[in-house]
Amino acid sequence: MSAINGLLQAVRKLHEATPELCDYAPWPDDLSSQQVLPEACVASESLGVRSLRGTRATAPVIKALRRAAPELHWKQTYSEAEVGRRFLDTYGYVELFGPEGHFRSAKLRGYIGIWGPDLTYDWHDHEAEELYFTLAGRAVFAARGAPNAMMRPGLARAHMTHQPHLMITLDQPYLAYALWRGAGLDGLPRMVRP
Ligand code: ZN
């Protein structure tokens, strides 16, 4: 099995075994492989040696991600002017499945994202509804109209359409599996004023 297929299968197993993920959206039944060329970022190049401690449930995804990292297309959708150099040097995400993912789906978008320690991902929003599921590390999540929450491996947090949200990572890199569903599936997040 290719490393990317191995990652997809590890994510699928986690998704289907996790009620919060299944209840949010069923695993997409329209996946088809599409050609997406590898693209590295600073964070992906050091992924193999990063300490990323998950749970028994999330560890297989972390292991598969390390293996697949060089073959994945890592994206950064913000500029240095928006988020600063250190953010860009420690953050990156992969669209595993979705409109532009390694596996195409028109129903659901699934990302894996990493953020370095002690990083503030400032207020942003997007049209699609979102669920973050923590794979490794810890982060404080804030969202307009919701109490702050500490996220750690195995915990999920939802954001509604256009609900501004912010994330502050703690002393370890933060790794998450994120789902987008509904209108705006092929959109992008943008920074907003709180
Ligand atoms: Zn979001």
* pLDDT tens digits for range 96-147: 999 999 999 999 999 999 999 999 999 999 999 999 999 999 999 999 999 9
Q: What is the rounded distance in angstroms from the CA atom of residue 154 to the CA atom of residue 61?
A: 12
Rounded to the nearest whole angstrom, what is the distance from the C-alpha of residue 102 to the centroid of ligand 1? 20
- The answer to whether 78 and 25 have CB atoms below 8 angstroms apart is no
Q: Which residues contact 179 (CB under 8 A, 6 or more apart)?
A: 21, 24, 25, 108, 109, 110, 111, 130, 131, 133
- The answer to whether 127 and 162 have CB atoms below 8 angstroms apart is yes
pLDDT in tens, 2-59: 999 999 999 999 999 999 999 999 999 999 999 999 999 999 998 877 889 899 999 9
Tokens of 70: 């060089």
- In this prediction, residue 193 carries a pLDDT of 72
- In this prediction, residue 43 carries a pLDDT of 94
- The answer to whether 120 and 166 have CB atoms below 8 angstroms apart is yes
Tokens of 59: 């560890």
Rounded to the nearest whole angstrom, what is the distance from the C-alpha of residue 182 to the centroid of ligand 1? 13
- In this prediction, residue 127 carries a pLDDT of 97
Name the residue type at position 21.
L
Rounded to the nearest whole angstrom, what is the distance from the C-alpha of residue 178 to the centroid of ligand 1? 8
- In this prediction, residue 33 carries a pLDDT of 96
Rounded to the nearest whole angstrom, what is the distance from the C-alpha of residue 66 to the centroid of ligand 1? 23
> What average pLDDT does range 80-108 have in this prediction?
96
Tokens of 160: 């509604």
- In this prediction, residue 194 carries a pLDDT of 61
> Whose structure tokens read 């919701």?
146
**Predicted TM-score of the model (pTM):** 0.96
Pairing mode, if any, of strands 92-98 and 103-104? Answer: parallel
Q: Tell me the Cα Rg of the chain.
A: 15
Tokens of 140: 């404080």
- The answer to whether 71 and 54 have CB atoms below 8 angstroms apart is no
Rounded to the nearest whole angstrom, what is the distance from the C-alpha of residue 13 to the centroid of ligand 1? 23
Average pLDDT, the chain: 95
Tokens of 194: 């709180």
